[in-house]
Structure 1
Amino acid sequence: MQDFQLYFGLGWHHILDWQGYDHILFLLALCSIYGAQDLKKLLILITAFTLGHSITLALSVWQYIHINSKLIEFLIPVTILITASSNIISKKKKPKKMLFRYLLTLFFGLIHGLGFSNYLKSLMGKSANIVVELLGFNLGLEFGQLLIVATAMLLSFILIWIVKIKAWDWNFFLSSAIFGIAFMMAAERLPAIYNLY
């Protein structure tokens, strides 16, 4: 139980750590176009992301997959770029496109899980209690994600319903800012990719 609590704490601290703000940016981009009325859609998206990163986190920690960390570090801002640009391009969430968005979020979760795995593997070493630690870390990540999403939704509610900013203007501003930051991140990490081949 002590290991579970320790890794639960490490999980939510890791995703809320500003040094790893790329995951926070992804979550903000993911939820920026949704309001309180879209809570069900948003929860499905967060679940798809969690499922994706849980799969690759487990596979990587158990040594079933090995992907160069520099490639993953480049792909993470690419997932943010795609998510933010899709927010800017589409003004409405069409039902037919939601399935594609769920699948894309699941796929992006697979990439982010590989990013989380490098951190987790460095903590675990040759631990014998790997299942409990993996579960604790994953649930900690999920708790941290829900805190980020709840904060983003509260901020959106205040700006849209109290300050009276138009929902599209807020989405455009936030998605554009996230796109700009992610673009710079991807550009900084791109040279490391050339050294892989």
Structure 2
Amino acid sequence: MAGAGHIGPPVQARSHVWLTLSACLLLALAAAFPAIAHDVSQSNAKYVEGISGPAPIPFLYLGAKHMVTGLDHVFFLIGVVFFLRRFGDIVAYVSLFTLGHSLTLILGVLANVSVNVYLVDALIGLSVVYKAFENIGGFQRSFGRSFDMRAAVFGFGLIHGLGLATKLQALSLSDDGLIVNLLAFNVGVEIGQVLVLVCVVWLLNIWRQSPRFETHAWYANLALMTGGFVLMGQHLAGYFLEGRV
């Protein structure tokens, strides 16, 4: 699929790729601390837990808010669209991500699939690391090949959806109107996703006009990877210190 490119490091940095990546990991581990997963706020949780019956508007708002304020989801979306210039490519990749997280969000709640919230959020952090590493050509240089990013985006979409499902499962939701409310939450997530993408793609299009975009893009993806490592470290620390079951 066209547009899903990646970039190598600046010429002067090529011999220091793994040293730089190691420094990013160490920096991320140093910044990691036990974190509470990106849960629904207490005020929102108390409100929706008191709802009985279909209430699409509150759940739509809740889904949109959760997507817009969730750094893990936003970081991954930035990584996905970072080098996509054609509108058709953006739609194709984002559609795969949307399909993935919609499936596990809805089925996860309805089937009451139980997963550890810290571990699934750590995997979401890993998805950010994976995409940023692919963006800088890490897989091509390390393994001599690039993996199918369409499959990867869909697969990580499944994990992101499972993470969203855990947030709803943590609430004591009424079975009355559950399907309607669940669908409304998912639509809200999509609305939030569109809002994020509009801003991200607009800013990237402006940034690409810079003659030093390629150099800046390398370091930007290293920063994105570091952010993913930090998220992973936070949630794994949370799992071992307080959330292990």
> What SS does structure 1 have at the residue aligned with 2:208?
helix
Max radius of gyration: which structure? Answer: 2
How far apart, CA to CA, are the structure 2 residues paired with 1:139 and 1:51?
Answer: 12
1:15 to 42, 67, 74: 67
TM-score (norm 1): 0.84
Q: Which residue of 2 aligns with 1:73?
A: 121
Q: Is the 8 A contact 1:29 1:174 kept in 2?
A: no
Percent same amino acid among aligned pairs?
A: 27
Q: Which residue of 2 aligns with 1:156?
A: 204
2:134 corresponds to 1:82: no
The CA RMSD over aligned residues, in Å, is 2.6
Check 1:141–1:184 CA distance in 2 against 1; reply closer, same or farther (3 A cut): same
The one-letter amino acid of 1:191's match is A
Q: Is the 8 A contact 1:74 1:186 kept in 2?
A: yes
Q: Deviations over 1:125-176 (max 9, x none)?
A: 1231112111111111111111111111111111222xx2444234323211
2:196 corresponds to 1:145: no
How far apart, CA to CA, are the structure 1 residues paired with 2:176 and 2:212?
Answer: 53
TM-score (norm 2): 0.68
- Unmatched segments (≥5 aa) in structure 2: 1-52
2:227 to 159, 181, 196: 181
Q: Which residue of 1 aligns with 2:28?
A: none
Q: Which residue of 1 aligns with 2:182?
A: 134
How far apart, CA to CA, are the structure 1 residues paired with 2:125 and 2:153?
Answer: 14
Cα deviation, residue 65, structure 1:
2.1
How far apart, CA to CA, are the structure 1 residues paired with 2:129 and 2:120?
Answer: 14
2:154 corresponds to 1:106: yes
The number of aligned residues is 187
Greater helix proportion: 1
Q: Is the 8 A contact 1:50 1:109 kept in 2?
A: yes
The one-letter amino acid of 2:102's match is S
Check 1:86–1:132 CA distance in 2 against 1; reply closer, same or farther (3 A cut): same
- Unmatched segments (≥5 aa) in structure 1: none
How far apart, CA to CA, are the structure 1 residues paired with 2:211 and 2:204?
Answer: 9
